[in-house]
Amino acid sequence: MPKFHVNNTAQPNGDHEVHEEGCYWLSLATSTTDLGYHSSCASAVAAAKRIYPQSNGCKTCASACHTQ
């Protein structure tokens, strides 16, 4: 099961991106919150939305959950 993190810094559109550990874009984030291990990006994004209601999956590592 992969481990996920949410970027604490919002994108220009207000989204907080959820990344799978090891993602290139996660390595560029200056501050993240560990979301733990999830069987899918959907449950990781749901966990992120409890912290940041406007959360979205990363287009690169969580593309199934990337909506905009």
Write down the pLDDT at residue 46.
97
| Residue pLDDT, tens place only, 5-47 | 999 999 999 999 999 999 999 999 999 999 999 999 999 999 9
Residues 49-55, mean pLDDT to the nearest whole number: 98
Band (pLDDT 50/70/90 cuts) for residue 67 is confident
Task: Name residues whose C-beta falls within 8 Å of residue 3's C-beta, 6 or more positions apart in sequence.
Answer: 20, 21, 34, 35, 36, 37, 38
Residue 33, amino acid:
T
Q: What's this model's pTM, rounded to 2 decimal places?
A: 0.94
**Pairing between β-strand 16-20 and β-strand 55-57 as defined by DSSP bridges:** parallel
Q: What is the DSSP letter of 59?
A: T
Write down the pLDDT at residue 68.
75
* String of DSSP letters for 15-50: PEEEEETT-HHHHH-SSEEEEEE-SSHHHHHHHHHH
